[in-house]
């Protein structure tokens, strides 16, 4: 896709419809070294934090301006289990299978175990940092931003406003998108983003050439969920057994292991939408049930707490 074509799609056209459709499908239905490309907000000593960011369009050659990643992080008798979940790729995952089995046992203790080792949902997008008082050297730069469901819900709310007098916007658009005012504070010991909000729609800059330069600095999102970022089913099973203290349990036969879909660097739009639809259908059966009141902690905060424990 050329930059000129990206501009033509900015008036809530085909691209925004695709994004809204993907949000509808998603609603209907581990650990790595610190990446220097990642930006994260910072909490001040006064217990509050503030920054202004702009969500950016999909990178060149990719269709969506976000990707989602499921992961697990919990401590067992044999140590920590911090791994990306194969359910991200629509494949069977050993911990997902165990969680389903435990949840369906009807035993309250098993359900509590599932809650401790449930999936964590993260979203990744490219962002432009407009204002970062805690780290002003970040302003005017492009980063990857990892965020949780609460912030993604705020994105969905402006794309699909609840009331008739509210105009939908594509917050990922250079020209008719909107800056995101990220406001955080501590509530019951956790970082809370409830007061965060989008500003009024406006162009990021008044210079198309400058915005094209920003666009070209974006990182690939599909790379984050590439198959090589995930361990095989058998390797995950071995690690899970070690963490849980299980011994002498045979892993699943190799011939039963699902075959990972090949990922081409550039595929047709129809193929992308077909895969998204197939993925959405597979997600109808969650590997870990979600209950109201269950912690939806932002993943960055969650892993920060793990490091501090």
Q: What is the pLDDT of residues 174-222, one digit of tens each?
A: 999 999 999 999 888 889 999 999 999 999 999 999 999 999 999 999 9
What's 3-308's CATH class?
alpha beta
Q: Are 93 and 234 in contact (CB under 8 A)?
A: no
pTM of the model: 0.74
Handedness of CA 296, 88, 127, 33 (dihedral sign): positive
Cβ proximity of 36 and 137 under 8 Å: no
Measured CA to CA, the distance from residue 133 to residue 152 in angstroms comes to 23
Nearest to 146 by CA among 288, 23, 35, 309: 35
Nearest to 124 by CA among 158, 143, 153, 147: 147
Between 120 and 13, the more confident residue is: 120
Which of 91-105, 265-279, 289-303 has maximum average pLDDT?
Answer: 91-105
Average pLDDT taken over every residue of the chain: 81
DSSP letter, residue 257: S
3-state secondary structure of 198: strand
Contact (Cβ atoms closer than 8 angstroms) between residue 299 and residue 72: no
């Amino acid at each position: 896709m050329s930059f000129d074509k990206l501009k033509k799609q900015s008036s809530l056209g085909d691209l925004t419809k695709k994004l809204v459709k993907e949000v509808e499908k998603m609603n209907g239905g581990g650990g790595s070294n610190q990446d220097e490309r990642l930006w994260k907000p910072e909490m001040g000593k006064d217990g509050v934090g503030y920054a202004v960011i702009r969500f950016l369009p999909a990178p060149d050659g990719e269709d969506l301006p976000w990707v989602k990643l499921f992961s697990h992080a919990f401590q067992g008798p044999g140590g920590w289990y911090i791994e990306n979940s194969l359910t991200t790729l629509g494949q069977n995952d050993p911990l997902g299978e165990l969680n389903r089995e435990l949840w369906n046992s009807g035993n309250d203790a098993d359900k509590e175990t599932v809650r401790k080792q449930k999936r964590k949902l993260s979203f990744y997008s490219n962002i432009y940092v407009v204002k970062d008082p805690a780290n002003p050297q970040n302003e005017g730069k492009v980063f990857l931003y990892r965020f949780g469901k609460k912030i993604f819900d705020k994105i969905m709310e402006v794309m699909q406003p609840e009331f008739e007098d509210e105009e939908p916007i594509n917050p990922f658009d250079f020209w008719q998108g909107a800056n995101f005012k990220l406001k955080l504070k501590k509530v019951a010991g956790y970082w809370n983003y409830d007061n965060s909000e989008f500003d009024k729609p406006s162009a990021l800059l008044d210079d198309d050439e400058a915005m094209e330069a920003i666009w070209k600095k974006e990182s690939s999102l599909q790379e984050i969920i590439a198959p090589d970022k995930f361990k095989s089913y058998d390797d995950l099973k071995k690690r899970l057994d070690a963490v849980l203290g299980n011994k002498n349990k045979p892993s699943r036969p190799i011939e039963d292991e699902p075959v990972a879909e090949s990922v081409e660097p550039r595929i047709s739009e129809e193929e992308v939408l077909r895969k998204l639809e197939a993925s959405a259908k597979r997600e109808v059966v969650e590997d870990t049930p979600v209950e109201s009141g269950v912690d939806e902690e932002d993943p960055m905060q969650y892993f920060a707490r793990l490091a501090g424990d």
